[in-house]
Chain A
Amino acid sequence: AQKITQTQPGMFVQEKEAVTLDCTYDTSDPSYGLFWYKQPSSGEMIFLIYQGSYDQQNATEGRYSLNFQKARKSANLVISASQLGDSAMYFCAMREGGYQKVTFGTGTKLQVIP
């Protein structure tokens, strides 16, 4: 079974619009963390945002926010006011098991249209 599922292989969004990238996860560990990374075409992995399983509020970092619905085991990334530079692959990842193993989803390719 997949630990992290990203069901949107590719998405388009108009510049300046908001976009939501979906992520669902599967774990029996009560303590876990969820991360979103951006990978531009140049290939590096850029950390965007983190949500802990015990965090009461949804995480926010600038234009990025995480819509965390624990009961549904979803951790969707919301990008507000999309910019051309947001075009990239986006990966959801989960850390569990005493914060050791980190597993990644298959990613969503976001393309921002002028």
Chain B
Amino acid sequence: NAGVTQTPKFRILKIGQSMTLQCTQDMNHNYMYWYRQDPGMGLKLIYYSVGAGITDKGEVPNGYNVSRSTTEDFPLRLELAAPSQTSVYFCASSPQGAPGQPQHFGDGTRLSIL
């Protein structure tokens, strides 16, 4: 089972560049999430989605955009990369209507902005 797959695993960007972090899941989960984890810190919610075509902001959405055109995919777009966006980014998914089910996490994307 692939679960939640994130690409790329590592990336270095220059200030002002843009990129898309890819996330796909093969579990038919309705809920998907993007988090960032700064060194030594917890996970902060950037955006989440409860289904195709529906997205909402989390705690730290500024500088990011998302889209959800299919159940499987939930890409995160960084526009005009800034050093403050250097972080590890995690994508997660969980099934709808199952509150006791944990989130399934990808392995993360380590992003450095120089």
Does A50 lie within 8 Å of B100, measured CB to CB?
yes
Chain A 36-48 near chain B by CB (<8 Å), digits 1 or 0: 0100000111010
Contact partner of B33 (CB less than 8 A), chosen from A50, A102, A106, is: A102
A contact patch SS: strand
Tell me, in angstroms, the Cα distance from A100 to B31 when the chains sit together: 7
Q: Is B15 part of the contact surface with A, judged by Cβ < 8 Å? A: no
**Chain A residues whose CB sits within 8 angstroms of the CB of B50 once the complex forms:** 100
Tell me, in angstroms, the Cα distance from A106 to B59 when the chains sit together: 14
**Chain B residues whose CB sits within 8 angstroms of the CB of A107 once the complex forms:** 41-42
Tell me, in angstroms, the Cα distance from A105 to B45 when the chains sit together: 11
Q: A35-B102, A52-B99 are in contact. Are A104 and B107 (CB under 8 A)?
A: no
Of the candidates A6, A44, A52, A99, the one having the most CB atoms from chain B within 10 angstroms of its own CB is A99
**Chain A residues whose CB sits within 8 angstroms of the CB of B108 once the complex forms:** 43-44
Does B33 lie within 8 Å of A33, measured CB to CB?
no
Q: How many of chain A's residues touch chain B, expressed as a range?
A: 20 to 34
Q: Is A72 part of the contact surface with B, judged by Cβ < 8 Å? A: no
**In the complex, chain A residues 1-58 whose Cβ is within 8 Å of any chain B Cβ:** 4, 6, 31, 33, 35, 37, 43-45, 47, 50, 52
Does A106 lie within 8 Å of B42, measured CB to CB?
yes
Contact partner of A44 (CB less than 8 A), chosen from B94, B99, B107, is: B107
**In the complex, chain A residues 74-111 whose Cβ is within 8 Å of any chain B Cβ:** 91, 93, 95, 99-107
Contact partner of B45 (CB less than 8 A), chosen from A35, A37, A101, A106, is: A101
Does A45 lie within 8 Å of B100, measured CB to CB?
no
Nearest chain B CB to A53's CB is how many angstroms away?
A: 9
Question: Which A residues have a C-beta under 8 Å from some C-beta of B?
Answer: 4, 6, 31, 33, 35, 37, 43-45, 47, 50, 52, 91, 93, 95, 99-107
17 contacts between A and B (CB under 8 A): A33-B99, A43-B88, A44-B105, A44-B107, A50-B100, A52-B100, A91-B42, A93-B43, A95-B99, A99-B96, A99-B99, A101-B48, A101-B58, A103-B45, A103-B59, A104-B35, A106-B42
